[in-house]
C-alpha cells in the first residue's frame, strides 16, 4: 500500500502530461472547419472581381462582414491580418443588423440569420457584395457562395446568376471545383 | 602516263566526294546541333507552357483545397505522353495532388524546389509556382522524360543518313555527268598528246570543244604542235640535206677524176635536192671566163635552150658569176631583176632563181657550181647554206682528185722508170750473154770463112759444083755472122754514139717488104688467109740520118706485129710521106697500118714496155720496145693510133736529112797490096791461127804464129833482138792471162811504130763502147774477112 502511495502521484503526473500532449497534437494536425472556411473566404477575394464602383475611394478598406453568429472567432482576423487586395487593406467587421451590411465587399451570413435571409438578400439588392453562407440550400435561395461539407471536405456551391446580378465576376477557375446552382423560386 | 599516277577522273571524283561529304557533314552537324538546341529550348518552353496552364488551372483547386479537382486538372498532362510525373504542393510545401493518381511519394521530391526548369540525367524537371494574382497558392512539379528528344535525335540521325545516302549517289551521278563535260576536252587533249608521243605524228590536232579556256588551251597546244611539226619538217629537210651532203661527199671521194666528180655531184643534186638545172663551170683566169665542165643529165633541155654544152665558155662580167668568182655565194631569187646577159638568158630558158656557189681551194676560186630552179624565190636559206657547204666539200674533193692525179702520174712515171731500169739491167745481162755467145761463134766460124774465101779466090780449078758449094757456104757464114750480129742488137742502149748514115727510107721499106714476104704472104696463105699489102710510098722523099740496120729491124718488127694482129686476114698498109713538125723543119714519116684487132687503152698504154706482150708464149715482149729504143736513139717520134677492133696505125717520124748532118762512115776503097810483110799472129785458138796463117801466107806474107799473149810478146821481143822486127802484129783480144790489150801495149813499148790489129769477137761492142784500147791501130771483128784484112794491112803497113 505504501508502494501505491508512492507510485500513484507519479502515474497521475504521467497521465496528465500524456493528455496534454495528445490534445496539443490533435490541434496542430487538423485545422478546424472554420479555420478552412476563413481561408476560403479570404481566397474568394482573389477569384472574384469587384466592379470599380464597389469602392468609393482607392484606399477604402476591403471589408469582410460577418452577420449573425461569428463561428470564426479570431481565425478570420488572423487570416486577413496585414493582407491587401489591390491596395485595399482588408478588414473584418462583425455586424449585428441588416442596416450595417451596406459597406461590405464580402458578407458572411451566419447560421443564425436563416430566417432573415430573404430580407438580407433584399437589402443587398444589386449591391456589389459577395454573399457567403454555410446554410444548407442557401445558394438556391440566392446566396452566391454556399459552403457544404461532403466526406469531411468543404465544397462550394455557387449561384452564378446571383453574382452576375450583383455585378461580380467569378473566375471560371473557381467554378471548376464548385457546384453551380440557380436560384430556386418559391412555389 | 606512269602506272602509279592516278587518273584525273578519280582525282576529280575524290575531290567532289570529299567536298560534298564535308559540306554534308558540316551541314548536318549544324542542323543537328541547332535542332537539339532549339528542341531543348522548345521542350522547356512547351513544358513551361503546359505547366503554367496546369498551374493556372490548379489555383482554385489549391485555393479551395480540392485535391480531386487538382488531380483532374493535372490529368491534362495525359496529352503529353512524355510527362512521367507531376505533383502539386500547397503553399506550405505539402504534397497536395499527384499525376498520375496514386504516384508513390517516394517517386517525388519531398519539398518543392525553386521555380525553374532544369535538365536532369534522363529528364526535364520543372517547378512552376501556382499563384492567383499576387498570391502564391502552391508549386507545381513536372518531370518530363527525354524520350521525345531521343526520338527526335533518332529521327534526325535517320534523316541525316537518308540525306547522305541519297545525296552522295546523286552527287556521284551529277559529278559524272559534269565531269564528262569537264574531262572530255582534257581527255581529248591527253589522247592527242599520247598519239603525238607514241607515234611521233605531229600532224594530229586536238579538236575544239567549245569551252573557252579549253579552246584556248587546245589552240595553244595545236599551235605548239604546228611549231613542232614545222621544226620537225625543217629538221627533216636538214637531215635530208646532211644525208645528201654525206652521200655526195662519199661519192665524190670515191672518184678521182674531175669530170666524174662533177657528174656525180650534179646527178645527186638533180635527184635529191632537187633542182631543174645544174652545171659546174671552171674558172679560166687568163681568159676572164668560165668554161662549162659538166652539165646535169636531166637539165639537158635547159642547157640546150641556154646554148650551153661541155667546154662552152661563159664570159665574166659584172653579173653574179663574177661575184661568185670573187668567192661569194650568190643567190638570185629572181633572175629577171638582174640586168645582165647571163641571168636574162636563164630567165628566157625558164629558170627564174639560181644559186651560184664558188669552188674554193686554198683561197683560189677554180670554179663555180650553178644550181637553178624554174620558180622564183625557190631556194630556202637552208638550201643556200647547204650548197655553200657542199661546194666546199666538192672543191676539196676536186683538189684531192687533182692531187691524186698528180700523184698517180708521178707514181706511174716512177714505175716506168723502175721498169726501164730493170729492163736495162735485164738487157745488159742478156747482151753480155749474147756477146759471149757471139764471140765464141765468131771464133768458131772464122776458119770456115777464111778458108772458104781463100778457096774461092785462089783455086781457079775448082769444079763448078765445088765453087757453087763454097759460095753457098760463104753465104751461110755471112748469114750466121749477121745473125750473131743481130743477136747482139739486144743490148745497144748504152751506145753513146750511133753510126749514122744517110738512109733512103723508101728503099729500106721496099727491101723489108721483100724480106718479110714469107711472113705476110706465104705463111698466111698456108693457113688459107689473105693479107693484102699496100704500099703508099711518096716519091722524092728526103733521106734521113740513121742506122740502116736498126731502121730495118724496126720496120720488120712493125710488119710482124701487123700480121700478128690480123689472124683472120686483112689489109696491111705501109706508107711513107713528108711532114713538118712544129718549128717548120722537115720530117719523114713511115706509117704501118693494119685492119686487125687493135688495142684497148690499157694495152696501148703499156705496149711499149719491155716484155709486155699480147702474143703469149710466141712473143718476147721486145719488139716494140726495140722499136722504141731505135726511135729514141734517132731523135725520132713514135705515134700509135689504135682502138679495140679498129686496127692499129704506127707512125714513125724522123727528122729529114740536112747538109749539116755529117756522115761518119765513108766507104773505104780497097787498097792494093804492095809488099810482103812480116806479121806476128797472136791467138789462143789454134784453128783460127791455122786458118789465118794459111790465108795470109797465101797472100805472100811471112807469118809468125804464137799461141797465147805472153808467147806473142816473147816472140816479138825475140824477133826484135834478131833484127827481124815484125812489120805488123795481129792479136786476138780475148785470151787467158795476157789479153789483146796487154799484148798491144807491150808491143808498142817494144816498138812504138809497129801497127797492131786487134781481132775480136766483141769488136762491135768495143766500138760501141768507145773502148778501142790505146796502142791498137785497127780493130777487126771476127770472123775476119780477107778483103777487110787486106785493106787494113795495106793501110797500116804501106
**Which 167-186 residues of chain A touch chain B by CB within 8 A?**
171, 173-178
Which pLDDT belongs to residue B664? 39
Which pLDDT belongs to residue A56? 80
Full-model pTM: 0.40
CA distance B562 to B572: 7
Higher pLDDT, B428 or B180: B180
Residue B59 pLDDT > 90, yes or no?
no
Which pLDDT belongs to residue B5? 65
Which whole number is the average pLDDT over B126-140? 86
Whether A36 has its CB under 8 Å from any CB of chain B: the answer is yes
CA distance B654 to B652: 7
pLDDT band at A18 (very low <50, low <70, confident <90, very high): low
**A48, A173, A175: best mutation site toward chain B, by most B Cβ within 10 Å?**
A173
Give the minimum alpha-carbon distance from B98 to chain A in angstroms, rounded to a whole number.
Answer: 17
Identify the DSSP state of B231.
H
Which pLDDT belongs to residue B518? 83
pLDDT band at B668 (very low <50, low <70, confident <90, very high): very low
Q: Is B372 in contact with B275 (CB distance < 8 Å)?
A: yes
Fold for domain B8-155? Beta-Lactamase (3.30.450)
By C-alpha distance, the chain A residue nearest B137 is A43
Q: From chain A, pick out residues whose CB is under 8 angstroms from the CB of B55.
A: none
Strands (E) across B733-773 are located at 756-760
By C-alpha distance, the chain B residue nearest A171 is B60
pLDDT band at B410 (very low <50, low <70, confident <90, very high): very high
Residue A19 pLDDT > 60, yes or no?
no
Thinking of the domain B255-379, which architecture would CATH place it in?
2-Layer Sandwich (3.30)
Residue B395 pLDDT > 80, yes or no?
yes
Which whole number is the average pLDDT over B67-83? 84
Say whether B64 and A176 touch across the interface (CB within 8 A): no
Q: Give backbone dihedrals phi and psi of B358, rounded to 5 degrees, phi first.
A: -75, 145
Closest by Cβ to B60, choosing from A36, A154, A174? A174
Say whether B64 and A173 touch across the interface (CB within 8 A): no
Q: Alpha carbon of B243 to those of B247, B248, B274, B329, B379: distances in Å? A: 6, 8, 14, 22, 18
Q: From chain B, pick out residues whose CB is under 8 angstroms from the CB of A150.
A: none
Say whether A156 and B57 touch across the interface (CB within 8 A): no
Residue B490 pLDDT > 70, yes or no?
no
Query: What are the cell numbers at B676?
Result: 810482103
Interface A:B, Cβ pairs < 8 A: 45
By C-alpha distance, the chain A residue nearest B133 is A46
- Equal CATH topology for B255-379 and B678-796: no
Say whether A43 and B63 touch across the interface (CB within 8 A): yes
Residue B496 pLDDT > 70, yes or no?
no
Nearest to B665 by CA among B751, B535, B779, B545: B545
pLDDT above 70: percentage of residues in chain A: 82
Strand, helix or coil for residue B761: coil
Q: Give backbone dihedrals phi and psi of A98, rounded to 5 degrees, phi first.
A: -65, -30
Question: What would the pLDDT profile of A110-119 be if each residue is shown by its tens digit?
Answer: 888 888 888 8
Residue B732 pLDDT > 90, yes or no?
no
Strand, helix or coil for residue B387: helix
Return the number of other C-beta atoms located less than 10 Å from residue B624's C-beta: 23
Which pLDDT belongs to residue B488? 63
Question: What would the pLDDT profile of B243-258 be if each residue is shown by its tens digit?
Answer: 888 888 888 888 888 8
pLDDT band at A186 (very low <50, low <70, confident <90, very high): low
Say whether B60 and A154 touch across the interface (CB within 8 A): no
Q: Which of A113-122, B309-318, B669-678 has the lowest mean pLDDT?
A: B669-678
Residue A185 pLDDT > 80, yes or no?
no
Question: What would the pLDDT profile of B591-635 be if each residue is shown by its tens digit?
Answer: 999 998 888 888 887 787 767 778 776 766 778 878 887 887 788
Closest by Cβ to A46, choosing from B56, B61, B63? B63
Half-sphere exposure (Cβ direction) of B183: Cα atoms closer than 13 Å: 14
Query: Could you give the ipTM of this predicted complex?
Result: 0.76
Residue B773 pLDDT > 90, yes or no?
no
By C-alpha distance, the chain A residue nearest B63 is A43
Which whole number is the average pLDDT over B508-523? 85
Q: Is B237 in contact with B382 (CB distance < 8 Å)?
A: yes
pLDDT band at B103 (very low <50, low <70, confident <90, very high): confident
CATH of domain B500-655: 3.30.565.10
Which pLDDT belongs to residue A166? 87
Question: What would the pLDDT profile of B182-196 be if each residue is shown by its tens digit?
Answer: 777 777 778 888 888
Which whole number is the average pLDDT over B143-170? 84
CA distance B233 to B246: 19
Question: What would the pLDDT profile of A25-68 be if each residue is shown by its tens digit?
Answer: 444 445 688 888 888 898 888 888 888 888 888 888 889 999 88
Question: What would the pLDDT profile of B524-580 be if each residue is shown by its tens digit?
Answer: 888 888 889 999 998 888 888 888 878 888 898 899 889 988 988 899 999 999 888
Residue B663 pLDDT > 50, yes or no?
no
The dihedral through the CA atoms of B108, B111, B114, B120 has a sign that is negative
Q: Give the contacts of B557 (CB within 8 A, at least 6 positions apart).
A: B623, B624, B626, B627
Which pLDDT belongs to residue B169? 87
- How far is C-alpha B13 from the chain's CA centre? 65
Average pLDDT score, chain B: 83
Say whether A156 and B56 touch across the interface (CB within 8 A): no
Which pLDDT belongs to residue B380? 86
Q: Is B130 in contact with B68 (CB distance < 8 Å)?
A: no
pLDDT band at A8 (very low <50, low <70, confident <90, very high): low
Which whole number is the average pLDDT over B486-504? 62
Give the minimum alpha-carbon distance from A39 to chain B in angstroms, rounded to a whole number.
Answer: 8
Which pLDDT belongs to residue A28? 41
pLDDT band at B652 (very low <50, low <70, confident <90, very high): very high
Average pLDDT score, chain A: 81
Domain range summary for chain B, segments of one domain joined by +: 8-155, 255-379, 500-655, 678-796
Which pLDDT belongs to residue B3? 46
Q: From chain A, pick out residues whose CB is under 8 angstroms from the CB of B66.
A: 153, 155, 177
Say whether B57 and A40 touch across the interface (CB within 8 A): no
CATH 3.40.50.2300 fits B678-796, yes or no: yes
Say whether B61 and A176 touch across the interface (CB within 8 A): yes
Query: What are the cell numbers at B620?
Result: 718476147
Query: What are the cell numbers at B170?
Result: 546523286
* B145 dihedral zone (left: phi>0; alpha: psi -120 to 50; beta): beta
Query: What is the DSSP code string of B681-722?
Result: EEES-HHHHHHHHHHHHHTT-EEEEEESHHHHHHHHHHHHHH
Give the minimum alpha-carbon distance from A122 to chain B in angstroms, rounded to a whole number.
Answer: 28
Whether A47 has its CB under 8 Å from any CB of chain B: the answer is yes
Residue B2 pLDDT > 70, yes or no?
no
Say whether B60 and A47 touch across the interface (CB within 8 A): yes
Q: From chain B, pick out residues whose CB is under 8 angstroms from the CB of A156.
A: 64
Cα maximum dimension of chain A? 80
Residue B523 pLDDT > 50, yes or no?
yes
Strand, helix or coil for residue B101: coil
Nearest to B495 by CA among B589, B415, B427, B587: B427
Q: Which of A132-136, B146-150, B396-400, B504-508 has the lowest mean pLDDT?
A: B146-150
Residue A93 pLDDT > 70, yes or no?
yes
Query: What is the DSSP code string of B456-480?
Result: HHH-TT--HHHHHHHHHHHHHHHHH
Give the minimum alpha-carbon distance from A15 to chain B in angstroms, rounded to a whole number.
Answer: 33
Say whether B60 and A171 touch across the interface (CB within 8 A): yes
Residue B283 pLDDT > 80, yes or no?
yes
pLDDT band at A146 (very low <50, low <70, confident <90, very high): very high
Say whether B60 and A176 touch across the interface (CB within 8 A): yes
**Which 81-140 residues of chain A touch chain B by CB within 8 A?**
none
Amino acid at each position: 500500500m505504501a508502494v501505491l502511495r508512492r507510485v500513484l502521484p507519479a502515474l497521475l503526473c504521467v497521465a496528465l502530461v500524456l493528455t496534454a500532449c495528445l490534445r496539443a497534437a490533435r490541434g496542430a494536425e487538423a485545422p478546424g472547419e472554420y479555420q478552412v472556411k476563413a481561408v476560403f473566404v479570404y481566397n474568394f477575394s482573389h477569384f472574384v472581381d469587384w466592379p470599380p464602383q464597389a469602392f468609393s475611394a482607392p484606399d477604402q478598406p476591403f471589408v469582410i462582414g460577418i452577420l449573425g453568429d461569428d463561428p470564426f472567432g479570431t481565425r478570420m482576423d488572423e487570416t486577413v491580418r496585414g493582407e491587401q487586395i489591390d491596395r485595399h487593406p482588408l478588414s473584418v467587421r462583425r455586424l449585428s443588423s441588416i442596416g450595417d451590411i451596406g459597406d461590405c465587399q464580402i458578407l458572411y451570413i451566419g447560421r443564425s440569420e436563416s430566417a432573415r435571409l430573404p430580407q438580407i438578400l433584399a437589402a443587398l439588392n444589386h449591391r456589389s457584395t459577395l454573399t457567403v453562407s454555410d446554410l444548407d440550400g442557401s445558394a438556391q435561395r440566392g446566396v452566391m457562395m454556399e459552403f457544404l461539407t461532403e466526406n469531411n471536405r468543404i465544397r462550394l456551391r455557387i449561384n452564378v446568376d446571383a453574382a452576375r446580378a450583383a455585378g461580380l465576376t467569378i473566375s471560371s477557375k473557381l467554378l471548376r471545383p464548385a457546384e453551380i446552382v440557380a436560384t430556386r423560386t418559391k412555389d | 602516263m606512269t602506272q602509279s599516277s592516278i587518273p584525273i577522273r578519280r582525282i576529280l571524283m575524290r575531290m567532289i566526294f570529299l567536298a560534298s561529304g564535308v559540306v554534308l557533314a558540316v551541314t548536318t552537324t549544324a542542323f543537328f546541333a541547332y535542332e537539339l538546341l532549339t528542341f531543348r529550348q522548345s521542350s522547356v518552353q512547351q513544358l513551361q507552357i503546359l505547366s503554367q496552364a496546369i498551374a493556372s488551372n490548379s489555383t482554385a483547386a489549391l485555393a479551395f483545397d480540392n485535391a480531386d479537382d487538382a488531380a483532374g486538372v493535372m490529368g491534362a498532362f495525359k496529352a503529353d505522353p512524355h510527362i512521367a510525373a507531376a505533383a502539386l504542393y500547397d503553399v506550405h510545401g505539402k504534397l497536395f495532388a499527384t499525376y498520375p493518381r496514386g504516384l508513390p511519394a517516394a517517386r517525388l521530391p519531398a519539398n518543392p524546389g525553386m521555380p525553374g526548369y532544369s535538365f536532369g540525367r534522363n529528364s526535364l524537371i520543372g517547378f512552376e509556382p501556382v499563384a492567383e494574382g499576387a498570391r502564391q497558392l502552391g508549386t507545381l512539379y513536372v518531370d518530363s522524360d527525354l524520350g521525345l528528344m531521343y526520338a527526335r535525335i533518332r529521327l534526325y540521325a535517320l534523316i541525316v543518313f537518308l540525306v547522305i545516302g541519297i545525296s552522295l549517289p546523286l552527287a556521284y551521278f551529277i559529278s559524272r555527268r559534269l565531269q564528262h563535260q569537264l574531262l572530255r576536252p582534257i581527255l581529248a587533249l591527253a589522247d592527242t598528246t599520247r598519239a603525238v608521243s607514241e607515234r611521233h605524228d605531229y600532224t594530229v590536232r586536238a579538236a575544239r570543244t567549245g569551252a573557252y579556256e579549253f579552246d584556248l588551251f587546245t589552240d595553244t597546244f595545236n599551235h605548239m604542235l604546228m611549231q613542232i611539226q614545222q621544226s620537225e619538217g625543217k629538221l627533216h629537210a636538214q637531215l635530208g640535206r646532211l644525208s645528201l651532203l654525206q652521200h655526195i661527199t662519199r661519192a665524190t671521194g670515191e672518184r678521182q677524176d674531175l669530170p666524174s666528180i662533177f657528174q656525180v655531184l650534179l646527178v645527186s643534186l638533180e635527184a635529191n635536192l632537187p633542182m631543174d638545172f645544174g652545171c659546174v663551170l671552171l674558172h679560166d683566169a687568163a681568159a676572164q671566163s668560165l668554161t662549162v665542165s659538166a652539165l646535169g643529165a636531166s637539165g639537158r633541155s635547159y642547157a640546150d635552150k641556154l646554148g650551153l654544152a661541155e667546154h662552152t665558155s661563159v664570159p665574166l662580167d659584172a653579173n653574179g658569176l663574177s661575184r661568185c668568182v670573187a668567192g661569194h655565194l650568190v643567190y638570185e631569187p629572181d633572175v629577171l631583176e638582174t640586168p645582165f646577159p647571163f641571168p636574162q638568158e636563164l630567165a628566157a630558158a625558164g629558170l627564174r632563181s639560181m644559186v651560184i656557189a664558188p669552188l674554193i681551194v686554198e683561197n683560189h676560186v677554180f670554179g663555180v657550181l650553178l644550181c637553178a630552179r624554174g620558180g622564183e624565190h625557190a631556194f630556202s636559206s637552208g638550201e643556200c647554206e647547204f650548197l655553200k657547204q657542199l661546194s666546199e666539200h666538192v672543191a676539196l674533193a676536186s683538189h684531192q682528185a687533182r692531187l691524186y692525179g698528180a700523184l698517180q702520174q708521178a707514181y706511174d712515171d716512177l714505175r716506168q722508170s723502175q721498169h726501164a731500169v730493170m729492163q736495162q739491167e735485164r738487157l745488159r745481162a742478156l747482151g753480155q750473154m749474147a756477146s759471149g755467145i757471139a764471140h765464141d761463134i765468131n771464133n768458131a766460124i772464122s776458119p770456115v770463112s777464111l778458108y772458104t774465101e781463100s778457096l774461092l779466090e785462089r783455086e781457079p780449078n775448082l769444079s763448078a759444083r765445088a765453087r757453087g758449094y763454097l759460095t753457098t757456104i760463104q753465104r751461110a757464114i755471112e748469114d750466121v755472122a749477121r745473125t750473131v750480129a743481130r743477136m747482139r742488137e739486144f743490148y745497144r742502149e748504152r751506145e753513146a754514139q750511133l753510126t749514122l748514115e744517110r738512109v733512103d727510107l723508101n728503099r729500106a721499106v721496099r727491101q723489108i717488104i721483100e724480106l718479110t714476104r714469107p711472113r705476110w704472104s706465104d705463111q698466111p696463105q698456108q693457113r688459107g688467109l689473105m693479107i693484102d699489102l699496100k704500099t703508099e710510098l711518096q716519091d722524092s722523099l728526103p733521106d734521113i740520118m740513121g742506122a740502116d740496120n736498126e731502121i730495118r729491124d724496126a720496120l720488120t718488127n712493125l710488119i710482124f706485129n701487123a700480121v700478128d694482129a690480123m689472124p683472120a686476114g686483112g689489109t696491111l698498109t705501109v706508107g711513107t710521106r713528108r711532114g713538118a713538125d712544129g718549128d717548120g723543119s722537115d720530117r719523114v714519116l713511115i706509117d704501118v697500118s693494119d685492119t686487125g684487132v687493135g688495142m684497148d687503152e690499157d694495152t696501148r698504154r703499156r705496149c711499149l714496155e719491155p716484155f709486155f706482150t699480147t702474143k703469149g708464149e710466141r712473143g718476147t715482149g721486145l719488139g716494140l720496145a726495140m722499136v722504141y729504143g731505135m726511135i729514141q736513139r734517132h731523135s725520132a717520134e713514135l705515134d700509135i693510133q689504135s682502138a679495140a677492133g679498129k686496127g692499129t696505125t704506127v707512125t714513125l717520124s724522123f727528122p729529114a736529112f740536112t747538109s749539116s748532118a755529117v756522115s761518119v762512115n765513108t766507104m773505104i776503097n780497097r787498097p792494093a797490096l804492095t809488099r810482103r810483110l812480116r806479121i806476128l799472129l797472136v791467138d789462143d785458138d789454134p784453128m783460127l791461127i791455122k786458118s789465118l796463117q794459111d790465108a795470109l801466107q797465101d797472100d805472100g806474107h811471112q807469118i809468125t804464129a804464137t799461141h797465147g799473149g805472153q808467147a806473142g810478146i816473147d816472140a816479138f821481143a825475140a824477133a826484135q833482138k834478131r833484127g827481124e822486127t815484125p812489120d805488123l802484129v795481129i792479136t786476138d783480144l780475148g785470151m787467158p792471162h795476157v789479153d789483146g790489150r796487154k799484148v798491144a801495149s807491150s808491143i808498142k813499148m817494144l816498138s812504138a811504130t809497129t801497127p797492131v790489129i786487134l781481132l775480136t769477137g766483141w769488136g762491135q761492142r768495143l766500138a760501141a763502147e768507145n773502148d778501142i784500147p790505146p796502142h791498137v791501130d785497127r780493130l777487126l771483128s771476127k770472123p775476119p774477112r780477107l778483103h777487110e784484112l787486106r785493106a787494113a794491112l795495106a793501110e797500116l803497113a804501106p
